[in-house]
Amino acid sequence: RKWVYTFGGGAAEGSRAEIEQLGGKGANLAEMAALGLPVPPGLTIVSDACGLFYKSGKTLADELKTQVLHGISGIEAATGRAFGDTSQPLLLSVRSGSRTSMPGMMDTVLNLGLNDHTVEALAEHSGDARFAWDSYRRFIQMYGDVVMGLDHEVFEEILEDEKARLGHELDTDLSASEWQHVVKLYKEVLEQELGEPFPQDPHVQLWGAIGAVFSSWMNPRAQTYRLLHSIPEGWGTSVTVQTMVFGNLGSTSATGVAFTRNPSTGARELYGEFLVNAQGEDVVAGIRTPQSITEAARIDSGSDKPSLEKLMPEAFAEFQAICDRLESHYRDMQDLEFTIERGKLWMLQARSGKRTTKAAMKIAVDMVAEGLISEEEAVMRIEPSSLDQLLHPTIDPRVTRHVIGSGLPASPGAATGAIVFTAEEAVEAESEGRKVILVRVETSPEDIHGMHAAQGILTTRGGMTSHAAVVARGMGIPCVSGAGTMRVDLRNEKLIGMGVTLGKGDIVTIDGSSGQVLKGEVPMLQPELSGDFAKLMQWADSTRRMTVRTNADTPADARAARSFGAEGIGLCRTEHMFFEGERIHVMREMILAEDEAGRRAALDKLLPMQRSDFTELFTIMHGLPVTIRMLDPPLHEFLPKSDDEIEEVANAMGLEPGFMRRRIDALHEFNPMLGHRGCRLAISYPEIAEMQARAIFEAAVAAARETGAPVVPEIMVPLVGLRSELDYVKAVIDRVAKEVMGEAELEISYLVGTMIELPRAAIRAHIIAEAAEFFSFGTNDLTQTTFGMSRDDAARFIPTYQKKGIIIQDPFVSLDFDGVGELIRIAAERGRKTRPDMKLGICGEHGGDPTSIHFCEDVGLDYVSCSPFRVPIARLAAAQAAI
Ligand code: ADP
Ligand code: MG
Ligand code: MG
């Protein structure tokens, strides 16, 4: 088969369409060559050869070698040089290139083909011996490191020593004979350390370098990168072998990198850096300070070193024209690598440039205006989850950070405030208008009101799905969780990290996007939701089919969500209201009551509280649909846990601590998540459901009268597995509805539906749909019950599963399409068979996950519901799914 594709001289065998086999680099080199741009001729070995390499015990097949050698004869013909020739030697670079860019993860070898003889020829025919010996030492250094495995620091030390000995500051200060001496030292150390000499045969060098690039596919760096970016190992890397061009050929030569637009602001201006008399790695390595490409940027930076525009105006003009050409060819901002050899420009790489979200928005909107792309393409250009960056304040990138610890970037955005160690202090501070960061070892449901009151949350324990992380993300509050390098000393009210001790009231800043914890106050950039953002979202909204609702438990959530464009509430978890302020006491009274009469007495007190919450929620949503879930969690979640707490609560309630402990023990469950919760509570204690239904309908009446926009409450019964469960609870709701409507003399339309969160419910959806007027997929529990995996304990083994390749993605983060997804499909199909116009939606964390949203579009759900701060992400993802 064809393993090798050549390019150069205005033609190419491959093109961008073959990116899977040629890799990003190889494909774009081919594309540029075919466009007639100045690309040094070369060849690309397809990425399938990488798999073959590993299958044959890390050796190169003869057939492959033959094709490479054939390609090289073509290059020789095109360049008029010969590989290994001692008068006109052809030198090569050997480069990696995978399907998606993995910057800096794999290896490159430059100046290949040099040896003790060809170096002389190179010196001779270039007329520059310094250049030839500089190239040779570079080659030995790279080859010794990448192919032979001698740590690059060994070489760097030798070079540093030599420079010190000779009194040189810069690499460019060394003369030909000084480089020649360095080469000698390099060869000696190689032989001494590895017991084998540096290979002189160019063909040995070539096969060694190709093998090393294939091998670098499996280096730990690349493996980690693939894991983080869900890149399959099976893709492999291609290898490009290309004629060297030299940026280190004196003062008329240079090498650089550039973006066709500014990657941080998106402004339409050439943006980049270059170095005179240098080769590839030098620009990134920071050995010398690079110079600006354009004169405007030079003036901006205040540098006195000339720009490329001034220094090499002809090469600059050609480069600028190529930038425009490539932008209109690729219809996207490009990240380019180039080299100028004695005034002649060569293009070495093109790829779509990485950019900040802000830049991505500006570029997309500008390109629509420039007629380069359509509105739909613009919508497709923005990575939905990257919007997170825009919706929160961020730390001004120009400031220096005094980092005192770091943890997981659990909830994006940055926040500054005075340290408090308890939820109560946070609430108190809020009432006094002070800004605080709540610092805890970990958080629990009792801290909710304090979390709400804080600007940000810092915990020293817990992962990305810990209570603090999940709740903070839901509230849109920045959070750093599991900052294990920091210590909370609760007794003395101290936070300690990296030798810095902060006390209560000291100012701290957390960066929930990076996980860093910083001392003191730090300047922030505020989110900007108008302009490009607004325009793009408008395009997205006119494209999508699904509606986007929000999960909102409180009026504050609902308001935030509406400002982000939510079109209703898909999940209101009533129980979260029970943790606020005094309510928890009444709730506990209800739970601890020994009989129905006692429970009803407490419920009577809860009724007006719930009613006023719902009234406010309905008023804010102003006629948009609101789904309210009946009480769901096991009751023990509302009760105190530690002895101290039990005593305190008992005293406050005028109860015996002993009695309280007995009641708590009686409520103990072995497996509460599969225990007495969901509709099971409403069946055991119908008076709870009654009270909630009454609160909902009375609130609907009140809101309808107040706003004149009638709400249609959608009442959702959780954890239904049997139709008879739903029948029972629905009967209670319908009865109360009738009562309230009679009392108010007002007709309220409402729906009763259920969450599909048990496999049995999914399978029996056609039967359940006879009673349910809507389904909402509760994918957190559905994932939990389908896998038989406790979400709260999954953090202990999911990372291991991922490391061992047993699963790629955490199913609690990204929906498991094959299993959980299949159940959703089944339920949607069967439910609609019974009730064709039935509304279907998804709530739960997946409702804000872009890939899961694509799946929802496929299945034909009517809406997705997610936490307020993910609403814009969901709007964009839903639009992309519909395109
Ligand atoms: P990476 O994928 O890490 O960017 P590259 O294959 O692009 O690795 O190589 C790194 C650098 O080496 C390039 O930026 C370029 O400056 C230099 N380089 C690669 N090939 C050549 C070549 N044929 N001639 C001159 N320089 C080259
Ligand atoms: Mg590169
Ligand atoms: Mg649930």
CATH class for domain 4-243?
A: alpha beta
Q: How far is the CA of 781 from the centre of ligand 3 (A)?
A: 5
Reference 394, options 428, 356, 420; nearest CA is 356
Distance from C-alpha of 82 to C-alpha of 89, rounded to nearest angstrom: 5
Task: Give me the half-sphere count of Cα atoms (radius 13 Å) on the Cβ side of residue 393.
Answer: 18
pTM of the model: 0.81
Q: What is the pLDDT of residue 170?
A: 87
| Ligand 1 pocket, residue 113 CB under 6 Å | no
Which atom from ligand 1 is nearest to the alpha carbon of 102? Answer: 2
Cβ neighbours of residue 317 under 8 Å, at least 6 residues apart?
none
Domain 544-634+669-882: give its CATH code: 3.20.20.60
Domain ranges of the chain: 4-243, 254-355, 393-525, 544-634+669-882, 637-668
User: Which helix (H) or strand (E) segment is 645 a member of?
Assistant: helix 643-653
Reference 729, options 716, 740, 741, 748; nearest CA is 716
Cβ neighbours of residue 162 under 8 Å, at least 6 residues apart?
174, 178, 181, 182, 185
| Ligand 1 pocket, residue 221 CB under 6 Å | no
Domain 254-355: give its CATH code: 3.30.470.20
Is-catalytic flag, 572? no
Q: How far is the CA of 676 from the centre of ligand 3 (A)?
A: 13
How many residues in the chain?
Answer: 883
Reference 706, options 643, 610, 816, 623; nearest CA is 623
Task: Mark 528-562 as b/e (b = at least 16 C-beta within 10 Å).
Answer: eeeebbebbbebbbebbebbbbbbbbbbebbbbbb
* Packed helices 850-859 and 820-834: angle between N→C axes, nearest 10 degrees: 30
| Ligand 1 pocket, residue 260 CB under 6 Å | no
Q: What is the pLDDT of residue 285?
A: 66
Reference 478, options 528, 416, 431, 534; nearest CA is 416
Distance from C-alpha of 849 to C-alpha of 548, rounded to nearest angstrom: 12
DSSP 652-708: HHT--HHHHHHHHHHH--SSGGGSS-THHHHHH-HHHHHHHHHHHHHHHHHHHHHHS
| Ligand 1 pocket, residue 95 CB under 6 Å | yes
Domain 393-525: give its CATH code: 3.50.30.10
| Ligand 1 pocket, residue 349 CB under 6 Å | yes
* Active-site annotation holder among 467, 576, 636, 846: 467
Which of 98, 100, 106, 108 maximizes ligand 1 atoms within 8 Å of its Cβ, making it the mutation to test the pocket? 108
Distances (CA, A) of 13 to 41, 44, 245, 482: 12, 10, 21, 52
Distance from C-alpha of 460 to C-alpha of 449, rounded to nearest angstrom: 20
Distance from C-alpha of 550 to C-alpha of 569, rounded to nearest angstrom: 5
- Partners of residue 353 on adjacent β-strands: none
Distance from C-alpha of 358 to C-alpha of 263, rounded to nearest angstrom: 9
Low-confidence ranges of the chain (pLDDT < 70): 284-287, 465
Q: What is the pLDDT of residue 286?
A: 63
Q: What is the pLDDT of residue 284?
A: 66
* Active-site annotation holder among 323, 843, 856, 866: 843
The answer to whether 301 and 277 are in contact (CB under 8 A) is no
Reference 481, options 494, 464, 501, 496; nearest CA is 464
Is-catalytic flag, 856? no
| Ligand 1 pocket, residue 249 CB under 6 Å | no
User: Tokens 């294939």 identify what position?
Assistant: 214
CA 825 vs. chain centroid, Å, equals 27
Which atom from ligand 1 is nearest to the alpha carbon of 96? Answer: 6
| Ligand 1 pocket, residue 347 CB under 6 Å | no
Question: Is residue 459 left, alpha or beta, with left meaning phi > 0 and alpha meaning psi from -120 to 50?
Answer: beta
Query: What is the pairing mode between strands 403-406 and 516-519?
Result: antiparallel
Residues near ion ligand 3 (Cβ under 5 Å): 757, 778, 781
Closest residue to atom 11 of ligand 1, CA basis: 280
Closest residue to atom 9 of ligand 1, CA basis: 108
| Ligand 1 pocket, residue 844 CB under 6 Å | no
- Strand, coil or helix: 768: helix
Q: What is the pLDDT of residue 660?
A: 87
Distances (CA, A) of 776 to 629, 688, 831: 10, 22, 11
Q: What is the pLDDT of residue 652?
A: 79
User: Tokens 């601590």 identify what position?
Assistant: 657
Distance from C-alpha of 245 to C-alpha of 231, rounded to nearest angstrom: 32
Distance from C-alpha of 99 to C-alpha of 85, rounded to nearest angstrom: 34
Closest residue to atom 8 of ligand 1, CA basis: 108
Q: What is the pLDDT of residue 114?
A: 97
Q: What is the pLDDT of residue 796?
A: 85
Q: What is the pLDDT of residue 287?
A: 66
Task: Give me the half-sphere count of Cα atoms (radius 13 Å) on the Cβ side of residue 293.
Answer: 28
Distances (CA, A) of 59 to 53, 219, 543: 6, 17, 51
The pair phi, psi for residue 363, each rounded to 5°, is -65, -45
Which ipTM value was assigned to this complex? 0.97
Q: Is 817 exposed, middle or buried (0-12, 13-18, 19+ CB in 10 A)?
A: middle
